[in-house]
Structure 1
Amino acid sequence: MALPSLIDLGMRPFFQQQLSLEELESCALGRVVEQHKSEVVLLAGGEVQRYKLPPKLEAICVGDWVVFNGERLIRVLDRQSLFQRKAAGTARERQLIAANIDTVFIVSSLNDDFSLNRIERYLALAKEAGVEPVIVLTKGDLCVDADSIRAQVQKLDPLLSVHCVNGLDNDEVAALKPYCQKGKTLTFLGSSGVGKSTLVNGLLGTTEMATGSIREQDSKGRHTTTYRAIKWLPEGGLLMDTPGMRELQLSDAKEGIKATFADVEALASQCRFADCRHESEPGCAVRAAIETGELSLRRLENYQKLLREESHNSATLAQKRAKDRALSNMVNTVQSQARSAKKFK
């Protein structure tokens, strides 16, 4: 098929309005469709372009819109949405995952790896980014109580879209195609082995993505995606595939957590004490709701756990930013003094 136009790729007034007159006259716009360690691939005006990443260019990821000329990337446009996380391991930096997404498919398999806690974590990310979340429960053909589990997920939010899908059944995968409209960008989030690559193949109508087997002893899957890329869907949408994420930590996502646990937040506002910890304080509306069955203890504990994690990670990042600023200021001062000393010699 013909390569998509900028509008097909999701170009909107939000991005166009960021361009200066000079950039409109002498530069071009492109969207990052593949990201590698030292270079990116752009789609722009029906052409595929490959660029080395300049050392001083701000952080970039798949889905970004960039201004470029024939020789180099110039800058990244402001994003409408951005998924990011604290980098895996001990690193203190954030890792950008995907930019300018419209809908995120949060995928969880209905085998032993199913976890409401993990789904809530992904929902917090989606709500922080302002992206529509859609829950996709896979491998229902291997689960005897799929309807019961689906009801548990729906209970997290009555307005949440939840689909049970066998990724190998084309009719069931078709339930996701209404989200794949022309000019819309979608992505998948979920642990390795939950069936994301199988769903991607189903939506593409090909076997473009490799799929991995499940280790029977722990229902875990092997990584099958090694880079981030956007793929063109038959319905006209853009599907961004991201590697499976075994470690996803929240940072700067407090509002997303609060939105995901709006029921807990509403109950907490009714507690007698504003600083109630929901343990044994008198007049605790949250504990009262747990006793009556209105709220599960699991949900309260996960809410508190995610808030602690977010607070710790955000504080760590803030400390690193302050340290980096101090180091930069010191270097600038030393360089300025050296120039002044050289001037008066």
Structure 2
Amino acid sequence: MRIRRLTVPSLAALGWADFFADQLTPEDEGLVPRRVAAVHRARVDVIDADGLKDLVLPHKSSTADFAVGDWVLVDAATDAFVRLLERRTVFQRRTEGRHGQQLAAANVDTLFIVTSCNADFNPARLERYLVMANQSGADPVLVLTKADIADDRETYIAQAESLQRGVPVIIVNARAPDAAAMLAPFCGVGKTVALVGSSGVGKSTLVNTLAGLQPETEQKTGGIREHDAKGRHTTTARSLHAIAGGGWVIDTPGIRTLYVSDVTDGLDTLFSEITDLAPLCRFRDCTHVHEPGCAVQAAISAGTLAPERLERWRILSAESRERTPVATGPRGNKTFRKSKR
């Protein structure tokens, strides 16, 4: 058994809350809660007030069933996994060729969507991250990095602020000491933040800055190709790190392709200006394309809604429908296929 001493004064400081405590039953007497700190291909690390330990998994179990940030109940005598507690929030994505969702992080309070002020900045891709963040239940924050090399930073800020109502936009130099101070309001004691975004935008650098990691323990960082701002994958395993202010930060590998699937609520939140107008359309099933009395088309004609927003709403809505599996087949023998709606 590996164990590393960390300063974790209580489960509450790790993010334990009433939501998880309320799930305990009399049958769980004698079990102890621990939080998943890292997920590897063949191993899961968990943490409690005593430090970091290996989770003893059942034979033929898959580490893909666990997300960093999960809470599990463990037999304290053997460190054996007993059961997984329900997640309060979960960031997951559907990948090409997979039937299920790939877990990225769980029980996250705030999701930092990280992009840089260069060729990586892509509003359409940021909208995909926002959809997934909305669907996860975590609060999204757009974090713009490489501000120190951006000549037109105000343009980047304005574009980011236009993507979703009420989402904070913070621009930082990930290597600067004040980056941690700028993100501190989201990183209080017992709070968990996670970082998502493309490779090379500075996620691992931000983790190092927030966690104050020393060279021997810090996340690896990689350079980018200058002509297209594409980065190398330097984070391969998801992991939980303590923040100096008492919170926790989860780094995730860069995502090259982000598909949307089964994210109706996330889309409604992202495109709230369209969601708010839809009930005013003459027809309940209005597609906002050609129907008379369409409030959405009227807003475009009036200049209060950008036509490219409606177009991106159509693209993401269609993709979500097509990639969302639906149950089919006789009762008791259900299989799943992609929707053709």
- TM-score, normalised to structure 2, is 0.88
The amino acid of 2:314's aligned partner reads Q
Which of 143, 150, 155 is matched with 2:162 structurally?
Answer: 155
| CA shift digits 1:231-265 (9 cap, x unpaired) | 01100001111111112222221111111111011
Shift, 1:171, TM fit: 2.0
1:48 alignment partner, SS class: strand
Which of 166, 171, 174 is matched with 1:164 structurally?
Answer: 171
| CA shift digits 1:41-94 (9 cap, x unpaired) | 1112313220243235792211111111133201100111111111x3322221
Q: State yes or no: 1:292 paired with 2:302.
A: yes
Shift, 1:158, TM fit: 4.1
| Corresponding residue of 2:33 | 29
| Corresponding residue of 2:338 | none
The amino acid of 1:95's aligned partner reads Q
Kindly indicate whether the alpha-carbon contact (under 8 Å) linking 2:93 and 2:258 is maintained by their aligned counterparts in 1: yes
| Corresponding residue of 1:80 | 88
| CA shift digits 1:187-215 (9 cap, x unpaired) | 01111111111111221223511111111
Between the two proteins, the alignment pairs up a number of residues equal to 323
| CA shift digits 1:88-144 (9 cap, x unpaired) | 332222111111111110111111121111121111111112211111011122222
| Corresponding residue of 2:324 | 314
| Corresponding residue of 1:6 | 11
| Corresponding residue of 1:45 | 49
Aligned equivalents of 2:152 and 2:307: distance in 1? 22
Q: State yes or no: 1:182 paired with 2:186.
A: no
Shift, 1:284, TM fit: 2.0
Structure 2, gaps ≥5 residues long: 336-341
From the superposition, tell whether residues 253 and 327 of structure 1 become closer, same or farther in structure 2 (CA, over 3 Å): closer
2:91 alignment partner, SS class: strand
2:87 alignment partner, SS class: coil
Aligned equivalents of 2:222 and 2:286: distance in 1? 47
More helix per residue: 1 or 2? 1
1:215 alignment partner, SS class: coil
- TM-score, normalised to structure 1, is 0.87
| CA shift digits 1:3-49 (9 cap, x unpaired) | 3131111111111121122322x211110001112221111231322
Aligned equivalents of 1:249 and 1:309: distance in 2? 8
Shift, 1:327, TM fit: 8.3
The amino acid of 1:281's aligned partner reads E
Aligned equivalents of 2:61 and 2:205: distance in 1? 38
* Structure of larger gyration radius: 1
| Corresponding residue of 1:215 | 225
Which of 49, 66, 71 is matched with 2:72 structurally?
Answer: 66
